[in-house]
A = this chain, B = another copy of it.
Amino acid sequence: MEIQLWCVGKTDRSFWSPAVEEYSKRIQHYIKFSIHFLPEAKAAKKSLPQQLKNDEATRLLQKIKPDDVVILLDEKGKSFSSVAFSKEIEQYMVSSTRRLIFIVGGAFGFSELLYDKFPKRMCLSSMTFSHQMVRLFFCEQLYRAFTILHNHPYHNN
């Protein structure tokens, strides 16, 4: 299995990158993992958030293959403990999942087009975080999940 994190929008704060890179590297000791940035839809004059979200969704949908498993990182999603999240990852690994994709939405969130197509949603916190923070947050949790599955000592430190 391969895991990808797709992020709509670019990192604009360089102080985030070393931490995200550190966790990405550590995750890759356990599994093929990569982060992909998809530029946000450009706001033309008078364009509505709804239009921007639909434009983003259309571009995302073009990149998704029929056998991908897609999970939206969304505040309306299900909350997991770190251990429950690790078991979820394990489930996908033992099933025939080839590519597991987590998506962080753009500034206006996800379009209904994506919600309809991908009902799996995961909520990292009841609080709202910057998109840069969500990336870091997610990478730390994914790394933690693998240390839990492999019984490596990180989780209780």
Contacts and interface: CB of A to CB of B under 8 A. Distances in A.
Given A19-B15, A19-B19, A22-B15, A127 B141 contact: yes
Interface string A2-27: 00000000000101101100100000
A125 to B, nearest CB: 4
A32 interface: no
A81 B123 CA distance: 12
A85 B127 contact: yes
Interface of A: 13, 15-16, 18-19, 22, 79-82, 85, 107, 124-130, 133, 136-137, 140-141, 144, 155-157
Stoichiometry, as copies per complex, reads 2
A13 to B, nearest CB: 8
Nearest to A143: B130
A140 B144 contact: no
Nearest to A123: B126
A144 B124 contact: no
Nearest to A133: B140
B15 A127 contact: no
Contact of A107 (B124, B130, B157): B157
Given A79-B125, A127-B144, A133-B137, 15 more contacts: A13-B22, A15-B18, A15-B22, A19-B19, A81-B127, A81-B128, A85-B127, A107-B156, A124-B125, A124-B127, A125-B125, A127-B141, A128-B155, A136-B136, A137-B137
